Structure 1
Amino acid sequence: MQLRHLRYFTTLARVRHFAKAAAECGVSQPTLSAGLLALEQEFGRRLVERDRRFVGLTEQGEAMLPWAEQILGAVNGMAHAVSATAAPVSGEFGLAAIPAALPLVGLFGEALLQQFPGLTLNVRSATSREIERSLHAFECDAGLTYLDHEPPANVLSVPLYAERYLFVARRGEGFDDRASITWAEAAAQPLCLLHQGMQYRRILDARLSARGLAIAPRVVADSYVALLAMVRAGGFATVVPDGYAALMAGLEWAHFLPFDEAEETRRIGLVVVNRDPMGPLASAGLATARLLESAAVIDKPYQPSSKSI
């Protein structure tokens, strides 16, 4: 069995397109197809459903996928471990973050690159479920995600931040003289929110349901940038993590309001897969997160001041 054939297989399963998979693997499409055929012949099973285009994996392909991912991940980890014995930690650190945790990326990334100058950082936004899958498939080295609600399995975690909600409206929309808002008032506004595939939205819905409230947003998205753009355009309001208040500080159109009812905060932190041995990149991320936790530099760094709201 050749490792490059496993890479063709796992890449195709992820991108679900023959031409895109070939381009990502740096080979021609016929070469990729030949490698997949060789893999199927070696195992004596059809692994990929095809009809001039990618249809999906067969039952046998689905069964093989997690093992193929683990093999490639173990080889990659072995290469990093070998190089780490002779030189400082280097390479590309893959970090996947839920949208609610993106404001933490700056402080974590700065600390990581300062502690490990040989690293570069690759950040992508993902749902909590995508982060869990990517970690176990060796597609990223660490994740920034919720630690208490739907926590990922078999991980080591370091709490970094206690998230709170903020209501956001455009100035001039009737909230300029307000210092806070009730949940009932917020739920009655024309809202734009993240869709229910995002963990932040599922937690928000549960919090509202506990208060006997329900929301039916007119706009849903998978990005806070899209939500804030709708608010800025006028006629909509939204609810965001308080981390976004600092990113928006100084913009005159945005008015942030805390909720006047006490709420349970949600812990966000760094997670890495609990493996033994742990790869050098995951170890570097874990060490950085523990350094930030001990210094308490991230806990509540984004609470908006009266000037910013």
Structure 2
Amino acid sequence: MLDKLEMFIAVARERHFGRAADSLGVTQPTLSAGIKQLEEQLGVQLIFRGSRFGGLTPEGQSALVWARRIVGDARQLKDEMRNTRHGLSGRVRIAAIPTALTWAARLSAIFNDQHPNVRFTILSRTSRDILTMLENFEADIGISYIDNEPMGRVSTEHLYHEEYMLVCSDRSSFASQKSVGWGELDGQKLCLLTPDMQNRRIINKNFMDAGIAPEAWIESNSIVALVSNVESGDWLTVLPADIARFLAGGKPLKIIPLSGAGRGHSVGLVAPYREPHTPVIDALLTQARRLPRWND
């Protein structure tokens, strides 16, 4: 039944039979037959069908909760048995908000030094996407904001507090300042992350608290694109300190602290709530507690 439950989870995630089949590497007829067999075993209809996916039935909504729990337990059992025999091993998928990618790299490198049989895949995603990926087993752990927007039932471990910096060209009128107030950015040519990013929503609130509502002339979901715009013209962007220092290093750019806002939000590891966690996830949460806190 386990493979049928994974098919059901994939259909609920993709809301499309073809995409769900592709994600599992099976044909659509095989997936449809598996869902039908699961419904026959459970004695209920799980999915409304028509010419296309019509959503989950009420019974399907309840079954999805159980399916995720059962599949999660089965994967944990497999991980624990493998780790009992071989030590910490396998591949861990980290989904991280773009502004925390340097921390994802730092954590994975330190962890791999200690546990060389653990491999990592690091994915850049929005905070909302990260929660969905954890719920649907598309990621094993996330790095995201843990004290700002609702997250549901998850386990978290603090990594750092964001400190916001203005990134500007060394030719900018701001370049010689030791700090810049948020209100000073009113009317400036800003390039910022897209509104679906929680970082952008936090920055918008800081602007609002400063009594301004500046317009972003350029928006991107890529921090590299933002910094490239700043380097090539008279643009300004706002980024957390760690990623700003990393991307501005060796370039004709200045990073200047922004003043006048409260303490930045906490960013940390986010894992699906389980007691106990798999050995690898538990070890990652423990490692996070031991990382140096440069700006806390």
Normalised by the size of structure 1, how large is the TM-score? Answer: 0.84
1:113 aligned partner, one-letter code: N
> SS where residue 259 of structure 1 aligns?
strand
Q: Is residue 161–residue 263 contact of structure 2 (8 Å, CA) maintained in 1?
A: no
Q: Is residue 73–residue 137 contact of structure 1 (8 Å, CA) maintained in 2?
A: no
Alignment partners' CA distance in 1, 2:273 and 2:46: 30
Q: Which residue of 2 aligns with 1:31?
A: 30
Is residue 140 from structure 1 mapped to residue 135 from structure 2 by the alignment?
Answer: no
Structure 1 residue runs of 4 or more that deviate by more than 6 Å after TM superposition: none
Residues 1-309 of structure 1: pairs in structure 2 closer than 5 A: 2-150=1-149, 152-261=151-260, 263-292=262-291, 296=292, 298-300=293-295
Deviations 1:134-174 (A, max 9, x none): 33444433221223212634444332222111112334344
Evaluate the alpha carbon distance shift between residue 62 and residue 155 of structure 1 in structure 2; reply closer, same or farther with a 3 A threshold: closer
Give the drift of 1:121: 0.6
Deviations 1:72-123 (A, max 9, x none): 1110001111222222011111212112211211210111111211111121
Evaluate the alpha carbon distance shift between residue 22 and residue 153 of structure 1 in structure 2; reply closer, same or farther with a 3 A threshold: closer
Q: Is residue 227–residue 248 contact of structure 2 (8 Å, CA) maintained in 1?
A: no
Give the drift of 1:258: 1.7
> SS where residue 176 of structure 2 aligns?
coil
Q: Is residue 92–residue 122 contact of structure 1 (8 Å, CA) maintained in 2?
A: yes
Evaluate the alpha carbon distance shift between residue 47 and residue 253 of structure 1 in structure 2; reply closer, same or farther with a 3 A threshold: farther
Q: Which residue of 2 aligns with 1:305?
A: none
1:289 aligned partner, one-letter code: A
Evaluate the alpha carbon distance shift between residue 137 and residue 281 of structure 1 in structure 2; reply closer, same or farther with a 3 A threshold: farther
Q: Is residue 70–residue 137 contact of structure 1 (8 Å, CA) maintained in 2?
A: no
Evaluate the alpha carbon distance shift between residue 263 and residue 273 of structure 1 in structure 2; reply closer, same or farther with a 3 A threshold: same
Give the drift of 1:233: 4.3
Alignment partners' CA distance in 2, 1:264 and 1:238: 19
Give the drift of 1:22: 1.7
Normalised by the size of structure 2, how large is the TM-score? Answer: 0.88
Q: Is residue 90–residue 116 contact of structure 1 (8 Å, CA) maintained in 2?
A: yes
More displaced 10-residue stretch of structure 1: 193-202 or 105-114: 193-202
Deviations 1:156-196 (A, max 9, x none): 43322221111123343443433332211213212222233
> SS where residue 299 of structure 1 aligns?
coil
Alignment partners' CA distance in 2, 1:138 and 1:20: 16
Q: Is residue 97–residue 143 contact of structure 1 (8 Å, CA) maintained in 2?
A: yes
2:224 aligned partner, one-letter code: V
Give the drift of 1:127: 2.4
Q: Is residue 248–residue 254 contact of structure 1 (8 Å, CA) maintained in 2?
A: no
Q: Is residue 182–residue 206 contact of structure 2 (8 Å, CA) maintained in 1?
A: no
Evaluate the alpha carbon distance shift between residue 28 and residue 153 of structure 1 in structure 2; reply closer, same or farther with a 3 A threshold: closer
More displaced 10-residue stretch of structure 1: 199-208 or 30-39: 199-208
> SS where residue 109 of structure 1 aligns?
helix
Evaluate the alpha carbon distance shift between residue 171 and residue 61 of structure 1 in structure 2; reply closer, same or farther with a 3 A threshold: farther
- Listed as ranges, the gaps of 5+ residues in structure 1 are 302-309
- Listed as ranges, the gaps of 5+ residues in structure 2 are none
Identity %: 36
Deviations 1:207-253 (A, max 9, x none): 22222222332333333223223334435322111112232244434
Give the drift of 1:51: 4.4
Alignment partners' CA distance in 2, 1:255 and 1:13: 47
